[in-house]
């Protein structure tokens, strides 16, 4: 994980109550720092226990603003502010059909499931078999049994359940994979870390009948997308 200092491994010691307080404090911090605005995302962040999506030797760091290593090749759980950073501009909301590329720990997927609700749909694709199994068991243990989990190359999307109202790519790419743009509904939005001129920009794409409009949100630092549309970056 270039650019981030990973804290040392340690046996978990914190209680449920300590984690609950840290979760509430984190939500207050996200609001104060203007990452978080929407009520549905706020409620999801308060509900989903992030610590249950983290390998036990990093569990106590659940609410620190660092990405933490996951089983698999270069897989990480993104830092807590990443979720409002992506989901707020995406406008993820009740009833949306949502496609995530890069399941990771399953935490962002669980948040999305809470936000879209029973009328919505969540599909998540993960390329790394070890990461996939880790996330699947986290989600099952947390009681999320109605998410479509796909093991494979997310650059290809998941045609079977398209079109999607919202798509989130959680790995840095050199270009937006064309299958994902095709599987995005008209009026839909896609967010991704895009490598441009040697840096990563978080970009939001909005698809209309005529064209696709791109807006740069801020500079970010994410692990690279793998697979057909992937790139080895900053090696
Ligand atoms: C930053 S992590 C995702 C973090 C995740 N949102 C979470 O909450 O834990 C990026 C993930 O994308 C996965 N990935 C990379 N390339 C992929 C691809 N082509 N298709 C699907 N998943 C991919 C990585 O294995 C990694 O798990």
Pocket test for ligand 1, best of 52, 171, 174, 191 (most atoms within 8 A of CB): 171
Could you tell me if the CB of 155 is within 6 A of ligand 1? yes
Q: Is the CB of 84 under 6 A from ligand 1?
A: no
**From CA 125, how far away is CA 149, in angstroms rounded?**
6
Q: Report the separation in Å between the CA atom of 111 and the middle of ligand 1, taken as the mean of its atom positions.
A: 15
- By alpha-carbon position, which residue is closest to atom 5 of ligand 1? 104
CA-CA distance, 16 to 13, in Å (whole number)? Answer: 10
Q: Which residue is catalytic, options 15, 38, 56, 78?
A: 78
Ligand 1 pocket test target in 127, 137, 151, 177 with most atoms within 8 Å of CB: 127
Q: Ligand 1 center to residue 22 CA distance, Å?
A: 25
Q: What is the pLDDT of residue 234?
A: 39
pTM: 0.96
> For residue 235, what pLDDT is reported?
39
pLDDT in tens, the chain (235 residues): 456 789 999 999 999 999 999 999 999 999 999 999 999 999 999 999 999 999 999 999 999 999 999 999 989 999 999 999 999 999 999 999 999 999 999 999 999 999 999 999 999 999 999 999 999 999 999 999 999 999 999 999 999 999 999 999 999 999 999 999 999 999 999 999 999 999 999 999 999 999 999 999 999 999 999 999 887 633 3
User: Is the C-beta atom of 233 inside 6 A of ligand 1?
Assistant: no
Domain range list for the chain:
16-220
Active site residue 56: no
Buried b (16+ CB within 10 A) or exposed e, 96-105: bbbbbbbbbb
Residue 27's H or E segment, with its range, is: helix 16-32
CB atoms within 10 A of CB 207: 19
Give the pair of three-digit tokens for residue 53.
């999506």
If you measure from the C-alpha of residue 145 to the centroid of ligand 1, how many angstroms do you get, rounded to a whole number?
20
Domain 16-220: CATH class, spelled out: alpha beta
Ligand 1 atom with least separation from CA of 135: 9
Distance of CA 1 from the midpoint of ligand 1 (Å): 13
């Amino acid at each position: 994980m270039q650019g981030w200092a990973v804290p040392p491994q340690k046996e978990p010691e914190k209680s449920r109550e300590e984690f609950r307080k840290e979760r509430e404090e984190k939500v207050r911090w996200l609001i104060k720092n203007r990452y978080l605005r929407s009520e549905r995302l706020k409620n999801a962040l308060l509900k989903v226990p992030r610590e249950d999506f983290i390998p036990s030797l990093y569990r106590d760091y659940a609410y620190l603003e660092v990405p933490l290593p996951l089983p698999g090749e270069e897989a990480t759980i993104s830092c807590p502010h990443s979720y409002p950073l992506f989901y707020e501009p995406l406008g993820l909301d009740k009833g949306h059909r949502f496609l995530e590329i890069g399941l990771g720990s399953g935490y962002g997927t669980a948040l999305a499931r809470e936000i879209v609700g029973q009328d919505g749909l969540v599909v998540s694709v993960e390329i790394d078999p070890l990461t996939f199994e880790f996330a699947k068991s986290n989600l099952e243990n947390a009681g999320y049994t109605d998410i479509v989990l796909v093991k494979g190359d997310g650059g290809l999307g998941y045609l079977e359940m398209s079109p999607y109202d919202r798509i989130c790519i959680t790995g840095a790419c050199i270009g937006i994979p064309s299958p994902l743009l095709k599987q995005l509904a008209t009026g839909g939005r896609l967010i991704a870390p895009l490598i441009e001129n040697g840096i990563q920009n978080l970009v939001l794409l909005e698809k209309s009948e005529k064209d696709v409009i791109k807006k740069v949100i801020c500079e970010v630092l994410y692990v690279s997308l793998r697979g057909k549309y992937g790139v080895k970056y900053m090696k």
